[in-house]
A and B are shown apart, each in its own frame.
Chain A
Amino acid sequence: MNMTTLTNQTRKDNSREEVQKRKVPRAGKGFATALRYLLLALVSLTMAFPFYWMVISGFKTNDEIWQFPPTFWPETFRWNNYVDAWQAAPFARYILNSTGVAAAICLIQVINSSMMAYALTHMRFRIKGVLTGLILVGYMIPSTAVYLPSYLVLSELKLLDSYTGLIVSNCVSVFSIFLIRQAFMQVSHELVEAGQLDGASHFRILWTIMTPLVRSSFAVMVLITFIDQYNNYFWPMLITKDPNLQLVSAGLRSFFVEGGAYGLAWPQIMAASAFTIAPLLILFLFTQKTIMQSVNITAGVNKN
């Protein structure tokens, strides 16, 4: 037996040992993975369960919904609950109000946030530092704290109970400015200078060069703003008393209190909640990548 076969032999032994060493943790790993799956499935189902409960409670009869123990599958499906609820209050109008107001706010915020962000990142002027500081502070102080004086201001402007008031009072967001500023900071200043050498104005550089470059940040900003404003409840409820101007959350809440007489018509209330939530869940399903990307960007915002 010469040296080479001997070393080969030991090598083989070594490798066999290695295989055996690996096998033990692998079996344990298989078990751990199974446990992970089980836990995740359990938690996910628990999280989704309130949605399921809402939808099926909306189908139950009033007698069945008050049974104890509750049924996990309706004995009879009363589709009419959904129709009744839809007709009991102007939900179509509420949804349109929410959509319209949220869309208008998004549009305005795209314009004013990008102009502000552009000025803060690619223009030179004296009060720049002050403005940046102001926006930083704005990020920390909750707007809910100033709802009372904002209400008084809006009332002075005679904008209570109007679409204009709903839109104008929400038309600027420190978060949106931050998000776009973050994106613009990544764009090289040389690009702006090149544009200027070509004789383009700042306005043109902003809309034809910068904005297309950071499309994905705008997508995130618009989606987050839209969802926030569509769901918005506290502030719109304060500044509108006219039922025709109510956004969907306030409309649903009045239906819960008045139409549903605080829990006497639970199936209809659950049906109404379900169709209020549905558009958002559908929107989320189609745009979840972008929405979750917001996390990447927000986390980035924080670092500065």
Chain B
Amino acid sequence: MRVKLWRETEAVLFTLPALIPLLIFWLGPLGYIVYLSFTDWDFMSPDKLFVGLDNYSYLLTNSEFYRSLKVTLLFGLGSVVPTIVGGLALAMLMNSKIKSSGLFRTLLFSPWVTPTVAVSIAWSWIFEPEVGLANLLLGWVGISPIGWLKDQNWALVAVLIVTLWKSIGWSMVFYLVALRNLPSDLLEAASIDGAGSWDKFRSITLPLISPTTFFLSIILTIQSLQAYDQINVMTQGGPAGSTRTLLYMYYQSAFESFNVGEASSIAVVIILICVLLSGVSFLLGRRLVHY
């Protein structure tokens, strides 16, 4: 009996160094923010006023919230889909025996390790409307200059370009691994049967790499919900809210308007979206992905 008790205690002791910070900085705050979303507070006043569902009903009637939701959706689609498609395309290009593929891989992957803040600053200069490189390139193909970060129709596109630039090499490396693990005899057999490249890609490669696609879509979606650095440096949610994602709105209402209640309710919405996404991906994963 005593041995058993010691065994339990010892195991729990092993988990504590990780568990305590997890409870303090993650699980505790998770509960705390749900509570805060039912209150009205400005960081300063001694009491947190309990207001029930007021923050949520206000949020649901706030057009800024819907706009932000739309931006989040556009940002999610606009970053996840091109990163996956582009990463796969690059991996397919590189997959067959290409010499010095190591060099290409290094160049394509390198943006991923660099600090987002620093590269976003460099990109802000590229998107400079008057003398920037982006407009020079557009001029070469006969397109008139764009205001980029100062134009509410284009600011999100500019932010998305930076996001894509940063992660496309990363997703490519995932696909390189997946493609290398494809059974070559299956592809050869298909060639002998007269299958064209496109047929082989569609009916063999694509289904076999679906676990990677699935995994990347989840991770990239979560990343897109967390995107902050590039938005903060390049546009700060502007112009006219055109790049204000839910996360950015949350940040602004918490640390710029000091509206803790509203901010918390937005955070709860973000968390609910994540829970919903994981639920859906769990169900879909069972049906669609071929392991």
Residues of A participating in the B interface, judged by any CB pair closer than 8 Å: 33, 36-37, 39-41, 43-45, 47-48, 50-51, 53-54, 57, 65-70, 111-113, 115-116, 118-120, 123-128, 131, 134, 137-138, 140-150, 152-154, 168-169, 171-172, 174, 177, 202, 227, 230-231, 233-234, 238, 248-250, 252-253, 256, 263, 266, 269-270, 273, 276-277, 280-281, 283-285, 288, 291-292, 295-296, 298-299, 302-303
User: Which of A39, A45, A269, A277 gathers most chain B CB within 10 Å?
Assistant: A277
Q: Is the CB of A48 within 8 A of B32?
A: no
B206, CB-defined interface residue at 8 Å: no
Main secondary structure of the interface of A (DSSP, over half): helix
Q: Is the CB of A277 within 8 A of B25?
A: no
Point out the residue from B27, B211, B270 that lies within 8 Å of A134, measured CB to CB.
Answer: B27
Q: Which residues of B contact A152 (CB under 8 A)?
A: 29, 32
Q: Which residues of B contact A153 (CB under 8 A)?
A: 24-25, 28-29, 32
A273 to B33, CA, bound (A): 36
B58, CB-defined interface residue at 8 Å: no
What 0/1 pattern do residues 93 to 110 of B give for CB contact below 8 A with A?
110101001011111111
Known contacts being A273-B118, A299-B177, is A40 close to B98, with CB within 8 Å?
yes
Q: Which residues of B contact A231 (CB under 8 A)?
A: 114-117
A148 to B115, CA, bound (A): 23
Q: Restricting to B88-140, which residues have a CB under 8 Å from any CB of A?
A: 90, 93-94, 96, 98, 101, 103-111, 113-119, 121-126, 128, 130-133, 136, 139
Q: Which residues of B contact A296 (CB under 8 A)?
A: 177
Known contacts being A68-B136, A145-B33, A152-B32, is A249 close to B113, with CB within 8 Å?
no
Q: Is the CB of B215 within 8 A of A142?
A: no
A sample of 18 cross-chain residue pairs with beta-carbon separation below 8 angstroms, ordered by A number, consists of: A36-B98, A44-B103, A44-B107, A47-B168, A47-B169, A50-B122, A137-B278, A142-B226, A143-B26, A145-B250, A147-B254, A148-B36, A149-B33, A154-B25, A233-B229, A249-B116, A277-B119, A285-B106
Q: Is the CB of A266 within 8 A of B125?
A: yes
Nearest A-chain residue to B254, judged by Cβ: A148
Point out the residue from B11, B90, B133 that lies within 8 Å of A123, measured CB to CB.
Answer: B11
Main secondary structure of the interface of B (DSSP, over half): helix
Point out the residue from B113, B131, B229, B255 that lies within 8 Å of A281, measured CB to CB.
Answer: B113
Q: Is the CB of B98 within 8 A of A33?
A: yes
Q: Is the CB of B131 within 8 A of A249?
A: no
Point out the residue from A41, A263, A288 that lies within 8 Å of B106, measured CB to CB.
Answer: A288
Q: Which residues of B contact A119 (CB under 8 A)?
A: 11-12, 14-15
B18, CB-defined interface residue at 8 Å: yes
Q: Is the CB of B10 within 8 A of A280?
A: no
Q: Is the CB of B274 within 8 A of A141?
A: yes
Q: Which residues of B contact A141 (CB under 8 A)?
A: 30, 271, 274-275
3 shortest interchain CB distances as A-B pairs? A149-B29, A125-B11, A112-B17
Point out the residue from A48, A140, A269 that lies within 8 Å of B274, measured CB to CB.
Answer: A140
A152 to B211, CA, bound (A): 39
